[in-house]
Amino acid sequence: MTSTHAALDAAQERMRIALLLRSYPAIEPDELARIHHWFRREATPLDFGILACEPETAEGYRAYRAQHYDRFGPRDLIVGAVFVAVVLGVLGLLYAAMP
């Protein structure tokens, strides 16, 4: 597939997602799963900007992001806890190694 075809496919998918976001939160679970997948795996920062700037989709876009995308999930909390543990471990080793 050429880059032109890929760009057209990406634009079409963004339009499909925009249509779903216009009716958010009154969408079916499979449609919500499609939005989740697109946000996590396919969308680019340009796609996010285009959706946020379109007046028809801006409200649904912000509602979706606030409810699903911008929240801390269990994975985020685990990563944060591991980071704090590593920092505290390094500081503890430095303190123990001091004369």
pTM value is 0.65
Distance CA 18, CA 79 (A): 31
**Which tens digits make up the pLDDT trace of 78-94?**
999 999 999 999 999 99
**Which tens digits make up the pLDDT trace of 21-67?**
998 888 899 999 999 999 888 889 999 899 889 999 889 988 988 88
Report whether 18 contacts 57 (CB < 8 A).
yes
Asked if pLDDT for residue 69 goes beyond 90, the answer is no
Report whether 42 contacts 81 (CB < 8 A).
no
Q: What is the mean pLDDT of residues 3-7?
A: 69
